[in-house]
Structure 1
């Protein structure tokens, strides 16, 4: 990695904030967070290492990243501490490169940690062991490792999980129709493929789907790709695809009309087609899929290849260690595909060349049948095709904590004729295409943050920050929150120009419609769930407890009145779940009812419930100014 001086690193921080290979800390002491960064730099494959600056602090009141020198008081002690902890804390010693520089008369310690060689990984804290004691660098955060992360380090020794042999299987568990489907698909892709002349057993052996011998056993990929429905139900009962049709715009909006579900089982190749057909038949008129005529769909339809890519990726890249089905949820305005297993590829690199494969043998079969590519260009193609169809780009959410990956396909047309007429009002501001998309998004969703801007526009942090800053300076957007928690709502010029275009009753967003919000930390690497997303109200804007209690049932009031200072967390979480079953509740409302501070309520009770018991009302933008929580109603 290029060697940088402290002033050069400070300039990079003020331009793009903390990134994969830079971490800035005050450095008064070597605490756990510093050592976790050391561990993640040493482990992260392909990173090459990274810098830690001690004696630097961020101005939390600045709308954009601003770091300044605060200095390290006892630099000698701090240097000794970091060196000794690096030598003693881990399973193998780490040798940091430590330098000091004087900047503006203050001492700054610059630490560089080299990436370890593959045979030395994973580095982990001795007291914690594996996997939790090992850390990886994901974006600008240090993330505790999971079993899937260990697969990255031990892949050569352990092999791919989908090659695991299932001893309770035999040849009778093979579905011959699945083999026939593979042969047809392979022949369409490469008619002269050598494996097409193999016998069925030779073919499955070549694909690593069965073991050798007179009584072959199926591997996991063999069962998933070619197993019968009965065998799949017996050996992997939760490995299915659930297509769920939910009326409305959010989960269980109408308690009396919840959802319809189609549970699908079968070989993965068959499931891919069945899932696409199920969505296709449910799309409204005008959203007609046509694989061979993308141009015909360019103004009104959801491109076939986008939907197929999303479904195939969900089957190919999901974690089959997790005993959960893949869910495809069809709302009135979007399609969500929820997959067990977080993305092995960092979210900021989604759409970039290169692929991280969780199930290498399954992926090979999808590639050979031309259902998927393995070069990492699928997401980029999805974005391009959605843009050609004038649809909102897909958004992605990857959560290591909940171990899932979500793809959202919004059935909303960007920059149609009506949008272009509305955008003409802003011609004097000379907006680029990305800024126009952002205005449309704010008009529809009410707010936008840097992360959402990057996803809908496909740009980096620096470009999105510059575009949003200009719109803020032009008073088209108004910034709320602080630092990395900044989000944007319609500004004065946005509201004034829109009021001239719409009747007051038709204006989608008005300033008075938005609640006052001061602080909310953004999600860690998108689709990671937020480490802290408090959405705290501005001081001086309390919630009326009497009004909140007046809308509750006697049973809920009784539960609240039973709460004590030392109530069990489970009791309070059950209460929160019952509250959010009635209607969406904001954090300030929940904290007022349970008698705790908003920050404590989120950390202690709400955060552990996210994506398991409750979920965000506005999933596409966690920092939405009107964010609230709703209870997840399970079948």
Structure 2
């Protein structure tokens, strides 16, 4: 390996297949073991892992012997290659052929940029029953280069602060997204323009139901783009179908609060996408009904349910590494705890069900829901809250046409209207009222007057329409 190539790897940063060390230390063994149990990797010695600064390290013969002894004493015995390249040393730990491996009686597996200890039963189940690592690294002979999303790749490069000078092929290789120099399954999932064409069930399906029994679908949506676009679009769709509380300080000032914790919902969708079993012929599914939101992914837990939230075993470690680099997940096993914490803070009940599928269920607090269009409009509850008033928005009980007809009728009767009147009449958020008004302006029916904090609307005269 050339020194310049090694410096480029350092610019990529630590990750699923790259580890930095300032010098030989006691953790070398667990990193070699973790790489052997995963997809292999490189340990670069002479680099500060916090800053990626090259400080240099020259291995002695004693250092080399120590590393080789650690590998040979693993169970089963293992072998590594060591190379000194100028002021940096590199240990090549290939993917093991006789998994699982232990060092000093402990099992380790790679999680993002960390080596995580597992117990024997977990790692045995991991490799014997699930055949985990291979799926992400398989190639799809049908994949066409024209379907690679350069926009998605450039966004990833930008959001992970990767050096702009690094070639695309170099980045893909060091992120473990190439197998035999071809984009593998993990790479296709993350950067394909139309994932459904290559993996029909690697999508997100969303359903909005009008009833608790989930027998009547009133809206649905499929997201089939690249990984992050599917995540973001499914998240936005879900938020758009939930109710919002308006916390009013006075008639002119208010803020909004979603009925369910947004960050917990996002965490649940991410969790479903990165931990699902892509070998099962089913998509990630989001069901929205009047009393609950279900986020479901195919795939059994890889450990006892009693340890949910305490332990994490990775089904798709390469995807987890990519999401970790984007800062969308934290340390191993933190997702469930984070969902529980956020739900508790919002006084929301969250439930987890396991089986062939893993389900996260958020129980909604308000009975009058999106989709209950046949119900008469209920009066919103007003609850005192530290001198503020919390008023629930039943936005879906008043459709756009009804609100806009009411606006025009009001203008016919009294000549002017302000957005706060629409908000108070229909118990909607400011953004919804603004969209209604904007639509009427674009339809050439009303005109905006005033400015700053004193804005009102009037019917557009025939002269103004000309």
TM-score, structure 2 as length reference: 0.48
Which gives a bigger RCO, structure 1 or 2 (Cα 8 Å, sep 6+)?
2
Structure with the largest fraction of helix: 1
Structure with the largest fraction of strand: 2
